[in-house]
Amino acid sequence: MYPNQSPQETPSQTPPSEPVPPHAPAPVSPPITYVGQPSAPTGLPTDYLNQIAPHAPKKPIFSFGIKQLLLIGAAIVVLVIILAVIVGNITASKKDPLEHLSARLTATQVVVTAAQPNLKSSELRSLNSNLNLYMTNTNRDITAPLTAAGINTKSLSKSIVASESTTALSARLEDARLNAVFDRTYAREMAYQLGTLMTLMNQIYTSTGSAGLKTFLQSAYDNLKPTQASFANFTAAD
């Protein structure tokens, strides 16, 4: 080294830094958490998730298809028909005896009126005349209770009128007239006919709840009873 030559600078001893890879990610600093500050939520609330989640459609309590509705409708119609038949039978069972009584009274009066000219006994003629008056009054008085029960005496059931026909009785009386035993035969037949009327009156009386009908039946029964007994006890001279 020459005397005027400055000393040669010594290279820095700082170690060289490591080369940074060209695509290396930049270092991420950890988040700073301050004392007393609440931490950020890590996910969405459960209630919110339940609200936005799709729900299965709720079925109504009563869900019927067309077939089920048709079946239900058919069942209702059948039930209504059954009830109508039951009510109709109950009503008919109450009306039938009353119609039979009205038809029997009318048919009996026809026989009583026709027999009057053929009677020989004065006692029997008087008895039959009183019976004819009773039939007239009773056929008149029965109209009110029958109307209250929904029965028209002018339009009774044809089957009931036919069942109360006295055609056979009239035929037997005609045979008796031809054989000259009319009085005895008529008294016997009428005692039986009036007995059936009294039995029917008693049956209706015990089954009805109508006070007006009971009053009529009681009066009709009491007025007919002695007449029926007189026919039953009649002794003909022929």
Give the CATH number of the domain where residue 225 resides.
1.20.1260.10
Report the C-alpha dihedral over residues 118, 121, 126, 128, rounded to 10 degrees.
-50
Residue 113: pLDDT over 80: yes
Residues 119-175: tens digit of each pLDDT: 999 999 999 999 999 999 999 999 999 999 999 988 899 999 999 999 999 999 999
Domain hosting residue 226, numbered range: 95-232
**Tally of domains within the chain:** 1
* Stated pTM of the model: 0.62
Taking only the tens place, the pLDDT of each residue in 164-222 is: 999 999 999 999 999 999 999 999 999 999 999 999 999 999 999 899 999 999 999 99
Report yes or no: 112 and 131 within 8 Å, Cβ to Cβ.
yes
Residue 143 resides in a domain:
yes
87 or 34, greater pLDDT: 34
Mean pLDDT of the region 22-31: 56
- Residue 36 — left, alpha, or beta (φ > 0 → left; ψ -120 to 50 → alpha)? left
- Reading the block at residue 160, the tokens are 């009931």
Q: Which two tokens stand for residue 123?
A: 């006692």
Distances (CA, A) of 224 to 80, 115, 142, 153, 219: 44, 18, 14, 21, 9
Mean of the per-residue pLDDT values for the chain? 80
Q: Is residue 84 part of a domain?
A: no
Lowest-confidence pick of 2-11, 90-99, 111-120, 154-163: 2-11
